[in-house]
Amino acid sequence: MLDLGVSSMQLDSGKRGFSFRHDGPLDMRMSRDGASAADVVNAANERDLAGIIFTLGEERHSRAIARAIVNARIIAPIATTHELAQIVATIVRPRAGDIHPATRTFQALRIFLNDELGELAAALQAAERILKPGGRLVVVSFHSLEDRIVKNFLADRGDTRGGSRHAPEVRRHAPTFQVLTKRPLMPEDDEVARNPRARSAKLRAAERTEDAARRGVPANLLPHLPTLSSVLKG
């Protein structure tokens, strides 16, 4: 069982640096080791920043936000969550009922800094290796990037399609999973009423077959992004 949601206790703690609602150091590290979000924001070049925010935050104002961040840090390093949220708010103008202007930017930085999508891909491969035949993998994701990775991984591992009679015969791997959810399961209205953070949850499940686990992951399973070490070099 993989629950990909971030702990509410982490999000609600200002000192952990995940929240734009509570001022604190711009940290966002799950493990407290290595570079922080402040290091990324103050070192990354404008192009890398825009790519990270667009790809991992699905933020259409990513280029303008990246430019505003670079301009702001010329005056002084960006050190707190409140400072970054204010910079983003000068670019993204929400309408009534919209999410906070900084939501997507903060999400993108958190995912990038902690390599959350890479960790997900590794967890899916680990599940394939350790589950016995008949064992079940259940994954609950909370945004489209995660759900797409789970969907594509299970589709690849559960692919039983034959080759086309119009194309050369291609040797196909035996399926390692039988997909149990053609479409993701979503929370009912009463669950969302009890727990609003469940509103975006999607559950997918698959059952392990008897065939041997494969190596590697499908091509293009993960988005193409610069490494953390290259970003810190600017």
Find the helix packing angle between 81-89 and 62-75, rounded to 10°: 130
Residues in the chain: 234
Confidence grade of residue 12 (pLDDT, cut at 50, 70, 90):
low
Q: Which residues pair with 193 in a beta bridge?
A: none
Which amino acid is it at 192? V
Tokens of residue 162, six digits:
């034959």
* Cα–Cα distance measured from residue 69 to residue 82, given in angstroms and rounded to the nearest whole number: 13
State residue 208 phi and psi, 5-degree precision.
-70, 135
Q: What is the pLDDT of residues 47-104, one digit of tens each?
A: 999 999 999 999 999 999 999 999 999 999 999 999 999 999 999 987 766 778 999 9
Rg of the chain's alpha carbons, rounded to an integer?
A: 20
pLDDT of residue 197: 84
Q: Shortest CA distance to 103 belongs to which of 115, 88, 118, 114?
A: 88
Helix (H, G, I), strand (E, B) or coil at 139: strand
* pTM metric for this prediction: 0.86
Q: What is the pLDDT of residues 105-139, one digit of tens each?
A: 999 999 999 999 999 999 999 999 999 999 999 99
* Cα–Cα distance measured from residue 59 to residue 99, given in angstroms and rounded to the nearest whole number: 12
Tokens of residue 200, six digits:
């975006």
